[in-house]
Chains A and B, each alone.
Chain A
Amino acid sequence: MSDATAKEKATIKYDSEFTKKVYEMENGKWVKMCMQCGICPTTCALKEKMDLSPRRIIQLIRAGRKDEVLKANTMWLCTSCYTCACRCPRGVPMMDVMHDLRHLAVENGINHNSQAMAEVYAKDVSKRGRIWEGGLMLNYGLKIGLGNFMKMALDMQDVGKGLMLHRRLPLLPPKGVKNPGKLREVLNRAQEIAKKEGGH
């Protein structure tokens, strides 16, 4: 832990509203169910890259340590691999809890590259109903900014070249659903219902 985070930690206060907010989210009940046994961090493939382990995240949510939780990279690194969920004695679907936390982080103005990716992805879905993998990269590039994109393109050139040479990244979008407008109506209606029912 860096000095800065240590200092920040010292000033962090208990925020019971935050705890309540997480409990009320779609997977909040699981945060209550966790018995802090510590099995999830021992099975998590990404643990070493995470600021806070999955178990610790839950502990800190309960302790109302909002800033530490929301600033962690943990939920962004969770790959939904289900390993911990299969082994958790309480059956906590950690990847779903992590999705709730991403939401909360975004709501609180915190962002991450994988959210940029998710947004590009969701946009393609609502525009065409299907993902055009070639265009995905391009739009993601636009989203993260030209400078970052150039850096990424350079870093990924071997990967991209292989995919291109073997015709794995279509240069033109494959056909989408017949009537994307209808699909958008379905999704809009779904979002309305979700709002009405509470949660997200």
Chain B
Amino acid sequence: MKYTLYPGCASEGTAISYHHSALEVAKVLGLELKEIEDWNCCGATVTSSVIGQFAADVLAARNLALAEKMGQEDVVATCSSCYAILGNVNKKFSDEKFKVNANDALSKDGLSYDGKLKVRMLLDVMVSEVGLDTIASKVVKPLKGLKVAGYVGCQTVRALREFDNWENPTFLDEIIAALGAEPVPFSHKLKCCTGAMAISSADITVSALYPILKSAHEAGADLIVTPCPLCQMNLDAFQVKVNKGYGTNYNLPVLFFTQLMAVAYGLDSKKAGLDYCIVSPNNALKQFGV
């Protein structure tokens, strides 16, 4: 199984542990992920308010053009936001006028994009292509007794509505269960963490994070997993601020789901990237040899 990988900027900074653990886990699963050569930032939702929607679309499309140059393998993104942006732009290429204009701009860098590739999210590829049976078959340390809150976040299943169920998603929980752990239901599974607002309006972010942590905690979760870099960073790095602001004492590790897979696959904690976690998962995962 082969895909071209769009890593996204977070893979080089705040979500470095997502990137590395995803590559390690993919190796175990025989999933070939070839990084798009010379990729650029997808632009997220903010760039369009500065350079305009069309230029922001072209920025994102440059990555698809580069992927096409490498072959006919579909593109997979790890980050929810990158997936939403690249996927939306990809759809626009079915509009002939958009395609002509976008290729006009891309030609300045000697590129063009035909619009034939699909854009997928890693979470989707794991469940729909790799399959839960295969995911389960590689487990060497079943995560028995571990209670996990699968925080899907907002854009992941809603932005394109191309996989899972966007009102009641199950993919993430199914992976958790395939690893032998227990997915716990909690009310704020899909509630927005406010994303990049964390920097410009931290107080609003903290007030959005509080009920997410609270509901996961009350559901008895030992830790949280998520498929989204911003969700991970906000819940992990801002947990201390939530505790200060609300007088709580939460100590909930927040992992990327690929990190939890790495643990269940018996990969060492370096490969799983566990020391990048701010709230230490060592206690919760001690029983599994971490």
| Contact call B154/A183, Cβ cutoff below 8 A | no
User: Which residues from B are CB-within-8-Å of A166?
Assistant: 275-278
Chain A residues, Cβ within 8 Å of B51: 122, 126, 187, 190-191
The interface stretch among B21-29, B170-178, B195-203 is B195-203
State the CA gap A180–B154 with chains docked (Å).
Answer: 32
Bound Cα distance from A194 to B104, whole angstroms? 12
Q: From known contacts A130-B40, A193-B101, infer whether A185 and B109 are also in contact, taking CB-CB under 8 Å.
A: yes
The stretch among A7-15, A53-61, A157-165 that forms the contact with chain B is A157-165
Contact A189 B277 (CB under 8 A): no
The reply to whether B101 and A168 contact each other, CB–CB distance below 8 Å, is no
Q: B-facing mask of A95-109, CB < 8 A → 1, else 0?
A: 100010011001000
Cross-chain contact A83 with B52 (CB below 8 angstroms): no
The residue from A26, A174, A190 contacting B58, defined by CB atoms under 8 A apart: A190
Query: Which residues of chain A are near B240, meaning CB under 8 Å?
Result: 158-159, 162
Taking a contact as CB atoms under 8 Å apart, the answer to whether A168 and B40 are in contact is no
Chain A residues in 8 Å Cβ range of B41: 124-125, 129-131
Q: Which of A116, A194, A197 contacts B200 (CB 8 A)?
A: A116
Contact status B49-A102, CB under 8 Å: yes
Taking A114-B201, A130-B9, A133-B14 as contacts, is the C-beta distance between A122 and B47 under 8 angstroms? yes
Cα of A166 to Cα of B40 in the assembled complex, Å: 25
B159 proximity list for chain A (CB < 8 A): 82
CB pair B62 A183 closer than 8 Å: yes
Segment of A30-38, A62-70, A73-81 engaged in the interface with chain B: A73-81
On chain A, the residues within 8 Å of B50 by CB distance are 115, 118-119, 121-122
> Size of chain B's interface in residues, with CB distance under 8 A?
69
Contact of B204 among A49, A122, A130, A185 (CB under 8 A): A49
Determine if A140 is an interface residue (Cβ-Cβ < 8 Å): yes
CB atoms of A99 and B237 under 8 A apart: no
Question: Which among B13, B49, B84, B111 is the interface contact of A115 at CB below 8 angstroms?
Answer: B49
Shortest Cβ gap from B245 to chain A (Å)? 11
Question: Which chain A residues lie closer than 8 Å to B13 at the CB level?
Answer: 131-134, 168-170, 174
Interface residues of B in 240-264 (CB under 8 A from A): 240-241, 244
Interface residue? B48 (CB, 8 A): yes
A186 touches B108 (CB 8 A): yes
Q: Which A residues between 173 and 188 are near B, CB-CB below 8 angstroms?
A: 174, 177-179, 182-183, 185-188
Q: Which residues of B contact A162 (CB under 8 A)?
A: 236-237, 240, 278
CA distance in complex: A79, B190 (Å): 14
Q: Determine whether the beta carbon of A159 is less than 8 Å from that of B241.
A: yes
A99–B38 contact, CB under 8 A? no
Main secondary structure of the interface of A (DSSP, over half): helix
A-B residue pair count with CB separations less than 8 angstroms? 206
Does B12 contact A129, Cβ atoms closer than 8 Å? no
Q: Are A159 and B238 in contact (CB under 8 A)?
A: yes
Number of A interface residues at 8 Å Cβ cutoff, please give it. 70
Given known A81-B155, A82-B155, contact A189–B104 (CB-CB < 8 A): yes
Q: Bound complex: CA of A137 vs CA of B196, how far in Å?
A: 12
Which residues of A have CB within 8 Å of B45?
Answer: 80, 95, 99
Q: Is the CB of A189 within 8 A of B237?
A: no
Q: In the bound complex, how far is the Cα of B197 from the Cα of A114, in angstroms?
A: 7
Contact of B199 among A117, A126, A177 (CB under 8 A): A117
Binding site for A on B (CB under 8 A): 9-10, 12-14, 16, 38-41, 43-55, 57-59, 62, 84, 101-102, 104-106, 108-111, 154-155, 158-159, 161, 166-167, 190-192, 194-197, 199-202, 204, 207-208, 233, 236-238, 240-241, 244, 275-278
Q: Which 4 A-B pairs have the closest CB atoms?
A: A81-B154, A82-B158, A122-B50, A133-B13
Can you give 20 A-B contacts (C-beta < 8 A)? A26-B53, A79-B154, A79-B195, A86-B161, A95-B45, A114-B46, A114-B197, A125-B43, A129-B40, A133-B9, A159-B238, A162-B240, A166-B276, A170-B13, A177-B39, A182-B110, A190-B55, A193-B105, A197-B54, A199-B54
Given A122-B46, A125-B47, A162-B278, 15 additional A-B pairs, CB 8 A: A49-B204, A83-B192, A86-B161, A103-B49, A114-B200, A117-B200, A152-B202, A158-B241, A163-B14, A177-B39, A185-B109, A186-B62, A188-B108, A190-B57, A193-B101
